[in-house]
Chain A
């Protein structure tokens, strides 16, 4: 026990004197979690609070295009800026750059006339199908020229599609209104009263959003709840840079020769490294969580809400930390140089994070990746944390994620021991 304690003390002393290693293990992940959460939070605010500038080039002179513009405005996502109807495509794109607008929309000439004509055709068809007499309409006049949407390529596809969806719903609304008005006039030979139109069209059914959680808490997930657990895992696995290199350094140094001539097994050194770096990973988690709880609200980010099951949180963090340490040891044992350990270690963690769903959510991945994802320990760690942080689960609920994580850890430990034996290091 004294030998182990002396070895832990030695490892802690060496670790605390490695300023670059400490910066990599603590500074970088903290910076990462703050930056990524801030970016994601501002994206969230862009969608929900800040408005996107939308340039409007209305070449139509009718009333329906004005109603369409009102409908787009009422979506609440856009800050509408009207530009001259005579601008050509080149001028519109120039205007987008001048106004720092991500989007521009062009309403074609005769949009109102064509929309009205289409409504009349639909009305006529409807009346005919009801068995009522309708005015004769030229059905060939029923095509409305398309709206043109210009967008800057920086706009992500998912974001662009949600904008398109919003514009389509505005378009749908004014087309429905027009059909309704036309139908009313054809039947009642008078215009549709505003009150009735409001009741028929604007009386939307509201949607109640309810986050589903295991503890029935109504906490709404936000960028902090998503990012802090994810980047904590990333930070834990990033100990590969320090621990992997430390093992390689020890292997290559004369001190390893001396250790081999002393009456103590190298297992003591490995056990010491595991305990020391497990403490490091726990400290990383505690610091990042504390930043989420106390610092984030002070810099305008949503505060981190810790799960109700603190024991579960500690268990998941311990297993995740142990897995990260085992991975780092494995790299350290097999790498021949520090460059190999650092390069392979860092790149493999980024890859495991990507396929593990830390960068792109698992549900958004192609089917083939969802199988590969299960090989990444970061995936199981993330699922376990999400089970606690987002779904309000308890330890028993995330056991299904902890068991695969433990299995991967045991596998990595076995590989490490085999590697040590193959290299005659033990």
Chain B
């Protein structure tokens, strides 16, 4: 049996001022080396769960372990284990990709030499070498997404959290990003991915969890779930399990 990259047990969480808990007795296990997709309608709790797993939100009760380390106990040292690629662009737009990577590399705990090697490698892989010295604010949406991804992986994290990493990019850039993520996974990085691009997710994720209203309503291998619910694709499975009601109105 594979070791667990993420182990969430009996998690209770509620936003301050909210009378009912957002998560109650929530459990989830993600094995090391998996390409795991977390899906659900708007307001289902995907981003909240990502924020809890990355320590951006603190929870009331329960436990979240990353590679066996309880995040409540380790705080900052645990942050070397994972990388985070948020949905919003998380870099300094005034700086170039190289300058951003140098800064975030230092904050991720790399030394000068490691930063230099890794920066050149990432710029090359993500096809950013030609624009490495130009301020990111002048880039297209797709190029910004690549910079956002590069910063999240500069320190070779063992777990990579990806919140809508390809939103708003063209097909070519999406391909490049997905291929790079698969390559990272082949080198041992666990991917925990959330997106509304379900066709893209089908190509990337081996295992998925469907969430709705703070609960996991399905969790298994994608193919097993498709067979079980007699669906051809993830979109059909998604609608079958979560219904057609638009959720934004309830948020």
- A residues within 8 Å of B by Cβ? 2-3, 5-7, 9-10, 13-14, 17-18, 253-255, 257-265, 268
Interchain CB contact (< 8 A) of A263 among B54, B79, B91, B112: B79
> Can you report 8 A-B residue pairs in the complex whose CB atoms are below 8 A from each other?
A2-B106, A3-B106, A3-B107, A9-B103, A258-B104, A263-B107, A264-B76, A264-B109
> Once the chains are docked, how many angstroms separate the CA of A253 from the CA of B148?
13
Instruction: Give the nearest-CB partner of B56 in chain A.
Output: A260
Using known A-B contacts A3-B106, A258-B84, A260-B56, determine if residue A265 contacts B89 with beta carbons closer than 8 Å. Answer: no
Q: Is B92 an interface residue (CB 8 A)?
A: yes
Which of A10, A17, A258, A263 contacts B151, CB < 8 Å? A258
Q: How far is the CA of A259 from the CA of B54 in the complex (A)?
A: 12
Chain A residues within 8 Å of B55, by CB: 260-261
- Among B56, B99, B112, contact of A10 (Cβ-Cβ < 8 Å): B99
Contacts known (A17-B135, A257-B56); A262 close to B90, Cβ less than 8 A: no
One digit per residue, 1 when the CB lies within 8 angstroms of any chain A CB and 0 when it does not, for chain B 139-175 equals 0000000000001100000000000000000000000
Query: Are B103 and A261 in touch, CB under 8 angstroms?
Result: no
Minimal Cβ-Cβ distance residue in A for B93:
A253
When A6-B103, A6-B107, A257-B88 are in contact, do A263 and B76 touch as well, CB less than 8 Å? yes
Provide the bound-state CA to CA distance between A3 and B77, in Å: 15
A257 to B55, CA, bound (A): 10
**Interface contact A264-B88, CB-CB below 8 Å:** no
* B interface, size bucket: 20 to 34
User: Judging by beta carbons under 8 Å apart, are B79 and A261 in contact?
Assistant: yes
The CA of A115 and the CA of B84, in the complex, are separated in Å by: 95
Contact assessment for A10 and B79 in the assembled complex, using a CB-CB cutoff below 8 Å: no
Whether A14 contacts B92 by the Cβ 8 Å rule is: yes
Q: How far is the CA of A268 from the CA of B108 in the complex (A)?
A: 13
Partner of A262, one of B79, B86, B102: B79
CA A286 – CA B229 in complex, angstroms?
Answer: 74
Whether the pair A6, B102 counts as a contact (CB closer than 8 A) is yes
Assess the A2–B111 pair: CB atoms within 8 A.
yes
Residues of B within 8 Å of A2, CB to CB, are 106, 111-112
Chain A residues closer than 8 Å to B56, beta-carbon distance = 257, 260-261
Chain B min CB distance to A238 (Å): 21
B residues in contact with A13, CB < 8 Å: 94-95, 99
Q: Check B111 against A262 for contact (C-beta < 8 Å).
A: no
- Residues of chain A contacted by B112 (CB below 8 angstroms): 2
In whole Å, how far is A290's beta carbon from the nearest beta carbon of chain B?
29
Say whether B94 contacts A18, CB under 8 Å: yes
Residues of B within 8 A of A259 (CB): 107
Q: Would you list the 7 A-B pairs with minimal beta carbon distance, nearest first?
A: A6-B106, A254-B90, A254-B88, A258-B90, A263-B79, A10-B103, A262-B107
What 12 additional pairs, Cβ within 8 angstroms, besides A253-B90, A263-B79, A263-B107? A6-B103, A6-B107, A7-B107, A10-B103, A17-B135, A254-B91, A258-B84, A258-B90, A258-B104, A258-B151, A261-B56, A263-B80
Do A265 and B76 contact each other (CB < 8 Å), given the known contacts A2-B106, A10-B99, A260-B56?
yes
C-alpha gap A168/B80 in the complex (Å):
83
Chain B residues 15 to 29 lying within 8 A of chain A, measured CB to CB, are none
Taking a contact as CB atoms under 8 Å apart, the answer to whether B109 and A255 are in contact is: no
Query: Closest Cβ of chain A: how far from B173's Cβ, in Å?
Result: 19
* CB of A14 to closest CB in B, whole Å: 5
Inter-chain contact B90/A7, CB cutoff 8 Å: no
CB neighbours (8 Å) of B102 from chain A are 6, 9
Contact of A255 with B76 at beta-carbon distance under 8 Å, contacts A3-B106, A260-B55 already known = no
Which listed residue (B80, B95, B104) contacts A14, Cβ 8 A? Answer: B95
The answer for the CA separation of A5 and B90 in the assembled complex, in Å, is 21
Chain A residues near B151: list those with CB within 8 A. Answer: 258
Known: A6-B102, A13-B99. A262 touches B92 (CB 8 A): no
Residue from B82, B91, B94, B135 within 8 A of A258 (CB atoms): B91
Residues of B within 8 A of A262 (CB): 79, 104, 107-109
Q: Is the CB of B94 within 8 A of A261?
A: no
Smallest CB gap from A262: residue in B: B107
Residues on A with beta carbons closer than 8 Å to the beta carbon of B89: 254
Cα(A268)–Cα(B76), bound, Å: 13
- Residue numbers in B under 8 Å from A10 (CB-CB): 92, 95, 99, 103
Nearest neighbor of B102 in chain A, beta-carbon distance:
A6
B90 in contact with A257 (CB, 8 Å) = yes
- Bound complex: CA A81 to CA B151 (Å): 78
Which chain A residue lies CB-closest to B81?
Answer: A263
